[in-house]
Amino acid sequence: MASIHKLAWLLSLLVLSITATCEPCKSFNFPNNVNYATCKDLGVLDSSLFWNYHQSSNRVDVAFKKANTTDSSWVAWAINPTSQGMVGSQAFLAFRNSSDATLKAYTSSVTSYDALLEEGSLSFPVYSVSASYSNGDMILFASFKLPENTTLLNHVWQEGPVSDDGTLGMHSLSGPNIQSFGTIDFVSGKVSETAGNSKIKLRKVHGILNGISWGILMPIGAILARYLKVFDGRLGATWFHVHRACQSMAYIIGIIGFATGSYMARHNRHHSSHGCIGITLICLASLQVCVAVFLRPKKDHRHRIFWNIFHYVVGYLTIGLGIWNVFKGIDIMEARGWKSVYLGVIICLALIAIVLEVITWILLCINKLNTHSKDQADVVDQQNP
């Protein structure tokens, strides 16, 4: 019997050691015998998250631990109820004053990329926030009520420098500092880092497809129709076939992009305005295709002018909404570099359209003058048979 107890004791130690190896946070002991039911080691920035979830009140008690923290650093942990990334984050921050070694812990709502992380209230009730520092470990303690009807949230954690006057500096924009975000389920205990996973890849595919479709091909198709038509006599119906091919390609790619967005909306937090614009675009484009294919009257038909007005209005409305939604999507993905690139593409297309518009008017004026001169010549010939 004694040997069995010893074997059980050794197996227990082995299991505990393996568990501690897999989750180092489980071996950490808080002062004052504070215990947390769940803990997870985060993938980057030497960080761990501990929490207790109280289902009856939807309250969470959290401890965020950042190891290897210097005296001149600030740390932050935040949840983002609206999107992934920094903007919209509801943050808990702490830093150590280098002059008197005092700790300051507070909350801050991050509304933009250049936010100063000033103290302010959050979008949900906060019951307490405090911090401790020992041997390079900065620990943020917070108790708050989760946003209504959700336990799965995006979260962000970060560190940055603190100046001598106590001003919080910008964190690094490379390496682990741009990988420190993910999702957390306070009920199941599942924590996932999103950098490089399938959701991020799907978001990128969604952005690329819709950027090419609504943001580039649609405007190009309109430009081709508008300005190749001037050469109708020389090119025949070529402008029409090129326009139709370009817009058909844009529509097909747009449908695929919309399908990826619908999939993400069902499995992730939905960005209401961006999604609503996307649905509107699909409806307008589908209506445009149906009317163009099945209801297009002949050129000499008396209703052709109304069809033309409808085609132009719906077409340019679709292009305008498409470009706007591409910018909204770039903001959601927090891809500031791509925003500059796409803005450059739109400016180039606008400049090309302006140049072609000028050329078009010049050609129209020349054709009008030639027609007028020919008419005058015909009149003179008739007067002098």
Binding residues: 206, 243, 274, 311
- In b/e form, how buried is each residue of 190-210, taking b as 16+ CB within 10 angstroms? ebeebeeeebeebbeebbebb
Q: Which amino acid is at 380?
A: V
* Burial class, 334, CB count within 10 angstroms (exposed 0-12 / middle 13-18 / buried 19+): middle
Binding residues for heme b: 206, 243, 274, 311
Tokens of 97: 């004053």
* Burial class, 161, CB count within 10 angstroms (exposed 0-12 / middle 13-18 / buried 19+): middle
* Residue 41 bridge partners (DSSP): 48
Q: How far is CA 247 from CA 209, 213, 219, 242, 300, in A?
A: 14, 9, 9, 9, 24
CA dihedral of residues 18, 20, 22, 24 (deg, nearest 10):
-160
DSSP for residue 25: G
Round to whole Å and give the CA distance between 280 and 276. Answer: 6
Residue 307: alpha-carbon gap to chain centroid: 37
Q: Which of 139, 128, 77 is CA-nearest to residue 103?
A: 139
Sheet bearing 90-96, strands edge to edge: 103-109, 90-96, 73-80, 152-161, 181-185, 191-193
Q: How far is CA 194 from CA 43, 84, 111, 261, 332, in A?
A: 10, 9, 21, 17, 15
SS3 category, 102: coil
| Element of type H or E holding 92 | strand 90-96
User: 83 with 271: CB under 8 angstroms?
Assistant: yes
Round to whole Å and give the CA distance between 341 and 338. Answer: 5
User: 158 with 169: CB under 8 angstroms?
Assistant: no
